[in-house]
Structure 1
Amino acid sequence: MNAHHFGVTVADLGRAVEFYRDVLGLDVIDRFTVSGEGFSVAVGIENATGNFVHLDAGDGRIELVEYDPAGRAHTDDVNQPGTKHVGLAVEDIEEFYRGLPEGVETRSQPRTTESGARILFVRDPEGNLVEMIEA
């Protein structure tokens, strides 16, 4: 079994794509829309349509999806059961941090954990957490 994608539901697909492409540097590899009865039943949302963008994340993809009808927004902290985040490796976390555009929300400056990894959490424009890690 191999990882295929890591899904992130967003309210504004265009804004999310700009962040993941322009700020995080991921390439868009696919755009598509899915609807119909099979999709609606599979996702458990009546009359659902999903607008998708896949971005290249090395060994997997980041899948951004905007649903119609839209659900209610929520953002959780990492210590809440069921909370998810995307983790992306960078070579130099300090360089990445210095290159962040003004206004990108971070939890802190890059920090070194007890394991020796350097990490930085940022929020995408939708409030979703993205962990940047220099292992």
Structure 2
Amino acid sequence: MSEHVHHVGITVEDLDQMVSFYQEAFGFEVLDRFEVSGESFSTGVGVPDATGSFAHLDGDGVRLELVEYDPEGSDATPDAVNQPGSTHVGVGTDDVDGVYEDLPETAEPVSEPQTTASGARILFLRDPEDNLVEVIDP
């Protein structure tokens, strides 16, 4: 048996808005859009009467799964990257500054691009639903 990372997933409130954001901000292409519901799905995700609307996007070989649930949950997203349970999507680029300059208005940069002690150029931002995204040129 061989395990591998299949995708990175983010639960979102507005699937169409978030698909547009990741397409506009990073040029990700939509691989597939679909909906899943029924007893097996509800049991599998532990949400009674759940329906999931999914979009799979190609982040240069890494599949980003965005999913909008009905019914929507009420748990809050962690506010800081150092809070246990916090997650982020890492997007590789060779032009962090160019990405920063071209960010859509719906993106909220945490700071301007920075160069770390290791020499990596990074930019952290929040997408329209407050999910943390790291843009990095390692």
- Whether TM exceeds 0.5 here: the answer is yes
Q: Aligned partners of 1:88 and 1:74: how far apart in 2?
A: 23
Letter in 2 for 1:14: D
Per the normalisation by structure 2, the TM-score is 0.93
> Counting strand residues as a fraction of each chain, which structure ranks higher?
2
| Paired positions, count | 135
- Mean CA deviation greater in 111-120 or 99-108: 99-108
Is the 8 Å Cα contact of residues 106 and 127 (structure 2) preserved in structure 1? no
Classify 1:46/1:108 alpha carbon distance in 2 versus 1 (closer, same or farther; 3 Å).
same
Match status 1:84 vs 2:83: no
Deviation at 1:121, TM superposition (A): 0.7
- Contact 1:107/1:121 (<8 A) preserved: yes
1:119 to 119, 122, 136: 122
Task: Identify unmatched segments of 5+ residues in structure 2.
Answer: none
Q: State the one-letter code of the partner of 2:36.
A: V
3-state secondary structure, aligned to 1:8: strand
Task: Tell me the residue number matched to 2:133.
Answer: 130
Match of 1:5 in 2: 7
Moved over 4 A (4+): none
DSSP 3-state at the match of 2:109: coil
What's the CA shift for 1:74? 2.0
Q: Contact (CA 8 Å) 2:124, 2:132: kept in 1 or not?
A: yes
**Matches of residues 15-54 of structure 1 in structure 2 within 5 Å?**
15-54=17-56
| Matched residue type, 1:45 | V
Cα RMSD of the aligned pairs, angstroms, is 1.1
The aligned amino acid for 1:78 is V
Q: How big is the shift at 1:28?
A: 0.5
Question: Mean alpha-carbon deviation: is it higher for 71-80 or for 15-24?
Answer: 71-80
Confirm whether residue 105 of structure 1 aligns to residue 108 of structure 2.
yes
Structure 1 residues without counterparts, runs of 5 or longer: none
Confirm or deny: 8 A CA contact 2:106 2:128 kept in the other structure.
no
Measured in 2, the distance between the counterparts of 1:111 and 1:34 equals 41
Q: Alpha-carbon deviation of 1:75?
A: 2.7
Shift of 1:73: 5.1
Q: Percent identity at matched positions?
A: 55
